[in-house]
């Protein structure tokens, strides 16, 4: 399992967070920032212990996909017409309350 792949792919998300316009979508960018930081911490800890990385490979992949989907949906939210933004806001809220906590749960699981 190559953890560097996840870091390279998350670079786009980190660039998006860094260059996001303040005030427009702060809560979504903040969620992405925290999720990406936690995910990178997970990768850093697991890079020191390859056996544990193999044990958690499915969870790592799931967390990576959650971040990528949230990033894509946040970008869509910016591009969509104002009439459809409430639909995407609901989707982002759902992902933020049900999917993103899986990253924190994995971090706690690896940390302990």
pLDDT tens column, 21-73: 777 678 888 899 999 999 999 999 998 888 888 888 899 999 999 999 999 99
Backbone angle region of 23, left / alpha / beta, with phi > 0 → left and psi within -120 to 50 → alpha: left
Q: Considering its fold, how many domains does the chain have in total?
A: 1
> What range does the domain containing 63 cover?
3-111
- 27's CB contacts (< 8 A; 6+ apart) are none
- The model's pTM is 0.88
Backbone angles phi, psi at 22, to 5 degrees: -65, 140
For residues 110 and 105, give the distance between their C-alpha atoms in angstroms, rounded to a whole number.
9
What confidence tier does 94 reach under pLDDT thresholds 50, 70, 90? very high
């Amino acid at each position: 399992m190559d953890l560097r792949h996840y870091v390279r792919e998350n670079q786009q998300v980190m660039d998006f967070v860094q260059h996001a316009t303040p005030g427009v979508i702060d809560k979504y960018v903040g969620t992405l920032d925290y999720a990406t930081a936690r995910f990178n911490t997970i990768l850093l800890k697991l890079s020191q212990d390859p056996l544990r990385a193999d044990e958690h490979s499915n969870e790592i992949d799931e967390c990576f996909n959650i971040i990528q989907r949230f990033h894509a949906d946040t970008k869509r939210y910016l591009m969509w017409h104002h009439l459809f933004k409430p639909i995407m806001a609901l989707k982002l809220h759902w992902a933020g309350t049900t999917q993103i906590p899986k990253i924190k749960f994995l971090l706690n699981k690896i940390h302990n």
